[in-house]
Chain A
Amino acid sequence: MSASGSTSGSTTLRPDLAAIAAMIRPGTRILDVGCGDGALLEHLVRTKHVDGRGIELSQQNVNACVARGLSVMQGDADTDLVEYPSGAFDAVILSNTIQATEKPRAVLEHLLRIGRRTAVSLPNFGYWKVRGSLVFKGKMPRTKNLDNSWFDTPNIHLCTLSDFLDLTRLCGAVVVEAHALNENGETRPMKTDAWGPNLLAPGAIFLLKKS
């Protein structure tokens, strides 16, 4: 989950986090899985008065969250989600983290169980620059979103947007909202059956619910 560490302050959120924040309704109960240093959670608590909780693997990030006055459990999404009761949260957030989990399917199933809505942001391994790097350079791609060598990356389960949508169907989820990210961090609504975003978007954000 170390990929989730966001560095932005409370004023300027990482683009995918800002897009997720826009999906969250005021006053709801929120669980942010892989909450990093708590930037998004603090933003939601301050601006939307949510009752927010976090899970985070890194000690340093947990301390940062605690110092922000947030309630965060140091732990691992792969092992700890089982402890959370079903339907305990209005929304569960998994931002830029699913590709770093050991069992993405199990994690997603837990999220859908725990939250009435699940917001997931992820990097797109089908992005044309990623494809290009592999096809033309013959090298594992390194992009702004995925800036690690293959041998030391925390991102062990990379997928394309199309792959992820397959997984949502396997998990019995339906897409409530979908937004494609561009290189400048801008988002715009995307159709889940369109081929374009899978090639052109470096990342995307999905709001899911159990069908």
Chain B
Amino acid sequence: MSEAPEFLRPVKVHAADKGQTVTFGPDKPLKLDCGKSLSPFTVAYMTYGTLNAAKSNAVLVCHALTGDQFVASENPVTGKPGWWTTTVGPGKPIDTDRFFVICANVIGGCMGSTGPASIDPATAKPYGLSFPLITIRDMVRAQGMLVEHLGIAKLLAVVGGSMGGMQALQWAAAYPERVRAVMPIASAARHSAQNIAFHEVGRQAIMADPDWRGGEYQLHNVSPSKGLAVARMAAHITYLSETALQRKFGRSLQDREALSFQFAPDFQIESYLHHQGRSFVDRFDANSYLYITRAMDYFDLAADHDGKLGHAFGAHPPRFCIISFTSDWLFPPAENKSVAHALNAVAANVSFVEIKSDKGHDAFLLDEPEMFQAVKGFLNALADS
């Protein structure tokens, strides 16, 4: 049942652990919010550390929009270190010497879990746009099946940043009895109009690329790289802050002494964004980007519960530790705090931490000692209790 996942592109680094997959057959279809079912479907995942005998030390880490299951080990596609090695690993805040860490590629993704680039068994062709629309709830449903497959009745915690935080909240709503605590970081209980707007710009950039071919680019052996790169460039700006951009780049010029009076990138910031766009298209599928951004747009946990967020988590909600960053304008502290207040109002056990940082939304991926302390303190106190 478990084998190394197939990736879209050739694996560059053969030494890296490619992780495992589990494929759920026709007897276990993934029932989706859109009304359709996905069957069979595969979940690709990594685990770190050792599950204890009581199976009580499992921590599920949920990745963000463009993340993957390689949270704490080399990414076999890019050869780069895992995306959250600052936080997850031996002796790190999420200590793999103590906790059994699971991270799965989301449904709709392109790193081994079933997504629009996967082959549809019904047609023997890539799904493309015939892949059903998926939601955060669907992603969590698939994770729930994976956790069950791993024989874990109750997770110690679900932790995630950004879209990963949405999944953590959704875990608390969908399976309050299967998780002791959730830690959403730099996240929200719903996608704001501004966030939807930025996503739509990204999607339109992809769909405007002639190589997108109505989503069937795989059949034509092309890829809407230009559109996907533009989508990434626009999105990347939202992950930073004005202060961080100014500090890092200012108006500095790239490899030149004076303005060129041309449209080639004069400024370092332009060159940086070009690089972000270029490196992204090597590791990410354009249709996956469409589907996953849509899933985030559709997320509104309160709307699923008569507009009352406090009602989303049942009579015995898990513990919450909500972490936000002051300069995050994509998922602002106020948005995070309103989640905490809604939980407080229904007497849930909730902590809210607002970390001073000028690094913007991406702060959760960076060196933020105060966040490390909060994550470490919360998890250790939880495991000790």
Could you tell me which A residues sit within 8 Å of B by CB distance?
29, 51, 53, 59, 62-75, 80, 83-85, 88
A80 to B345, CA, bound (A): 12
Report how many residues on chain B are interfacial, defined by Cβ distance under 8 Å.
Answer: 27
B373, closest chain A residue (CB): A63
The dominant DSSP class at the B interface is: helix
Contact B344 A67 (CB under 8 A): no
Contact mask B336-352 → A, CB, 8 Å, 1/0? 01001100110101111
- Chain B residue numbers with a CB within 8 Å of A67 are 373, 376-378, 380-381
> Given A63-B373, A63-B377, A69 and B382 touching (CB < 8 A)?
yes
A133 to B22, CA, bound (A): 75
A54, closest chain B residue (CB): B351
- Chain A residue numbers with a CB within 8 Å of B385 are 69
Contact B370 A59 (CB under 8 A): yes
Contact A66 B377 (CB under 8 A): yes
Contact mask B361-385 → A, CB, 8 Å, 1/0? 0000000001001101110111011
Contact mask B247-274 → A, CB, 8 Å, 1/0? 0000000000000000000000000000
Contact A69 B381 (CB under 8 A): yes
The reply on B51 being an interface residue by CB < 8 A is: no
The reply on B319 being an interface residue by CB < 8 A is: yes
Contact B344 A73 (CB under 8 A): yes
- Chain B residue numbers with a CB within 8 Å of A63 are 353, 370, 373-374, 377
Contact A71 B351 (CB under 8 A): yes
Contact B344 A53 (CB under 8 A): yes
The reply on B356 being an interface residue by CB < 8 A is: yes
The reply on B358 being an interface residue by CB < 8 A is: no
B341, closest chain A residue (CB): A83
Contact A71 B349 (CB under 8 A): yes
A75 to B381, CA, bound (A): 22
The reply on B355 being an interface residue by CB < 8 A is: yes
A123 to B44, CA, bound (A): 60
Contact B354 A74 (CB under 8 A): yes
Shortest beta-carbon distance, A61 to chain B, in Å? 11
- Chain B residue numbers with a CB within 8 Å of A80 are 341
- Chain B residue numbers with a CB within 8 Å of A88 are 345, 347
The reply on B290 being an interface residue by CB < 8 A is: no
Contact B351 A62 (CB under 8 A): yes
- Chain B residue numbers with a CB within 8 Å of A70 are 351
Contact B356 A59 (CB under 8 A): yes
- Chain A residue numbers with a CB within 8 Å of B381 are 66-69
The reply on B321 being an interface residue by CB < 8 A is: yes
Shortest beta-carbon distance, B183 to chain A, in Å? 10
Pick the most buried of A53, A67, A73: most chain B CB atoms within 10 A of its CB: A73
Contact B354 A59 (CB under 8 A): yes
- Chain A residue numbers with a CB within 8 Å of B349 are 53, 71
B310, closest chain A residue (CB): A85
Contact A62 B353 (CB under 8 A): yes
A29 to B344, CA, bound (A): 12
Partner of A66, one of B337, B345, B353, B384: B353
A68 to B352, CA, bound (A): 14
Contact B370 A66 (CB under 8 A): no
Give 6 nearest A-B pairs by CB, closest first.
A67-B377, A69-B381, A83-B341, A73-B352, A71-B349, A63-B373
> Given A63-B370, A63-B377, A66-B321, A72 and B351 touching (CB < 8 A)?
yes
Contact A71 B350 (CB under 8 A): yes
Contact A83 B345 (CB under 8 A): yes
A182 to B270, CA, bound (A): 66
Shortest beta-carbon distance, B247 to chain A, in Å? 21
Shortest beta-carbon distance, A1 to chain B, in Å? 14
Shortest beta-carbon distance, B69 to chain A, in Å? 27
A79 to B336, CA, bound (A): 16
